[in-house]
Amino acid sequence: MADNTASTAEILTKIAEIVNDVAGVPNEDVKPEKSFVDDLDIDSLSMVEIVYSLQEAFSIDIPDDDVKNLRTVQDAVDYIEKAQKTA
């Protein structure tokens, strides 16, 4: 069992922190059901930076092909949890 695996809550907090830093969205608005593009108004340039920052924060790789499936915050949480398990 890996010690450095973040919990679901920790992952969500980190995503909110990154989204706030990159796109100025208030942390409390970054909820699991929210869509990055439609609800949080994040454009593709910010998405590139958010994905990069998530890779750095969780030491995982997120190939470009997988990014288009990260439509909601929950999608990102699930992806990171899965990536951590297989890392």
Q: Rounded to the nearest 5°, which phi and psi values hold at 21? A: -65, -45
Taking CB under 8 A as the criterion, the residue among 17, 39, 49, 78 binding other proteins is 49
Q: Would you count residue 37 as binding other proteins (CB under 8 A)? A: no
Instruction: Spot the catalytic one: 21, 38, 43, 66.
Output: 43
* CB contact at 8 A, 42 and 19: yes
DSSP assignment of 2-26, as one string?
-TTPPPHHHHHHHHHHHHHHHH---
Taking CB under 8 A as the criterion, the residue among 16, 19, 22, 70 binding other proteins is 22
Active site residue ranges = 43
Residues that bind other proteins (CB under 8 A): 21-22, 43-45, 48-49, 52, 64
